[in-house]
Amino acid sequence: MTDTRRNDQIKLMVLEGDGIGPEITAATLEVLQAVGERFDLDIGFTHLPIGLEGLRQHGTTVPPMIVDTAPDFDGIVLGPVDHFAYPPADQGGLNPSGELRKRLELFANIRPALSRPGFAPPCGCHVDLVVVRENTEGFYADRAMFQGSGEFMPTPDIAMSLRKITRTGCTRIAKAAFELALRRPRKKVTAVHKSNVLRMGDGLFLECTRAVAKDYPSVEYDEKLVDAVAALLIRDASMFDVIVTTNMFGDILSDQASELSGSLGLAASLNSGADTAVAQAQHGSAPDIAGKGIANPSSLIGSAAMLLGWIGERRNDPRLNEAAAFIDRALSAVIENPETRTPDLGGAIGTKAFTGHVANAIRTMSR
């Protein structure tokens, strides 16, 4: 149901994460505060521990109150997590990303790849595409079983992995892709698969996607093998608009597309379901640069902008959609100038200085 409230506070849960998470989360909140002031938005933040801090305080990397209270919030801002540093799951070391996606039914991972003005993409062509990735099943071992793991070893020399593909999962991610395509100028969806090998799993995915496509006659639809898409992205990524695919293919292709469009450090990402959405940087926690003040916060800032847009659609409040677009404009303006880039983009300024430039652009740009 659409929420038409315009003046209620926007309540965001904030989960700082590990590594560079606290640094880029602080940067993201500074930008959200700036855009809140510019657009007269009341944005409230509630901080809860997750990851290593959750483990220290509550004995688990995903404390129960995070999932329990999620319905009380309009959205969640999640910093990167370092699940490789966690103890085993039975000792509290749960993967926060996977747990939130499963338990909050965040079935769609929306990952745009967009070339920024003045920052030449490595592929040599303009990139403006979105990967719509199924988020709750596929080859991921923690999402294949009701109980137990989707990976197991019958003998010390054999490892087996299960892949779960469901009609419900395929249909709802296909609908999300076509709905997104309707809002984009090109209105094109490409279904990416490997049905020549995974005949049943990807066969079901294509069956469901084709059925959904019939309900969207104004959207151009085609299908391509995943290995062909990996090559075509390098040759000319501009041929793609909205890519819809299963979990693991989407994870890999979205990282590739983001690097080709400029940098994984610029790659925004939104995990969304029917009732909840989580803004999450597409990259990891980068523990090697944690605390050095040089992390690029663009990915999480862009993800938070996507979250504002998602909330704006639910509330039918165009101010939030305008605010989201304004953040994106501010990021582009700062990244376009070589003197206001972080080291990963060939610049020399740190996280706080970069964030200050973005916030200042929000305060001074014309609407």
Give the active site residues.
Answer: 140, 194, 227, 251, 255
Taking the C-alpha atoms of residue 287 and residue 12, their distance in angstroms, rounded to an integer, is: 25
Which helix (H) or strand (E) is 228 found in, with range?
helix 226-236
- Residues in the chain, how many? 367
Spatial contact of 307 and 272, defined as CB atoms under 8 Å apart? no
Cβ neighbourhood burial of 324 (10 Å; 0-12, 13-18, 19+): buried
Local structure of 225: helix, strand or coil:
strand
To the nearest 10°, the Cα dihedral for 267, 43, 104, 187? -50
Place of tokens 């290593």: 52
Listed in sequence order, the residues at least 6 apart from 367 whose beta carbon sits closer than 8 Å to its beta carbon are 322, 326
Contact of 262 with 319, CB cutoff 8 Å: no
